[in-house]
């Protein structure tokens, strides 16, 4: 159970960092390169929230954990309806994971106007804007709250 609470705490910290960077640091500094850092913090928060939920499922013998993150994500998708996480939220989580993966594999990235642009090997572009990050921040906060509520309500019920 300590591992679940550590994951939950880490998710909370990453979410607070992303929130602060979005609403305080970015407007003050206005460096568009911060957009990818905010996305990275959101990704980290989501991963920790999902892992906490998966470990919770594993503790109650409702899920199997794998070494492969893609298999774990499929397990999360299968469990998500039980916790009120809908298909549009799953789709947006997938968008975040895809953007981070494209960022890691990108040969070139640049800032243009108010966007951070990720260029792929085949010259496709993906853009990150502040408005899109605010949408992702709302999603991440919502997933974290659902995860926290689920974990705390079941562990409190088990202590009695």
Q: What is the pLDDT of residue 160?
A: 38
Rounded average pLDDT over 130-137 = 97
> Phi and psi for 126 in degrees, rounded to 5?
-125, 140
**pTM listed for this prediction:** 0.92
- Domains and their CATH numbers in the chain: 2-101+130-159 (1.20.120.330)
Cα 7 to Cα 1, 92, 96, 101, 105: the distances in Å are 10, 21, 19, 21, 26
48-101 pLDDT, tens digit each: 999 999 999 999 999 999 999 999 999 999 999 888 999 999 999 999 999 999
Judged by DSSP in three states, 66 sits in: coil
86-123 pLDDT, tens digit each: 999 999 999 999 999 999 999 999 999 889 999 988 88
């Amino acid at each position: 159970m300590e591992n679940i609470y550590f994951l939950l705490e880490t998710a909370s910290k990453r979410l607070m960092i992303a929130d602060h960077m979005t609403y305080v640091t970015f407007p003050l500094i206005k460096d568009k390169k911060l957009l990818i850092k905010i996305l990275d913090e959101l990704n980290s928060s989501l991963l920790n929230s999902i892992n906490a939920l998966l470990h919770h499922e594993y503790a109650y013998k409702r899920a199997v954990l794998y070494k492969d993150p893609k298999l774990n994500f499929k397990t999360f998708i299968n469990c998500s309806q039980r916790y009120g996480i809908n298909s549009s939220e799953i789709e947006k989580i997938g968008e975040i994971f895809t953007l981070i993966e494209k960022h890691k594999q990108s040969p070139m990235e640049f800032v243009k106007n108010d966007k951070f642009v990720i260029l792929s090997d085949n010259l496709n572009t993906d853009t990150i804007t502040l408005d899109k990050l605010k949408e992702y921040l709302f999603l991440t906060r919502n997933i974290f709250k659902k995860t926290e509520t689920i974990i705390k309500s079941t562990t409190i019920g088990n202590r009695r």
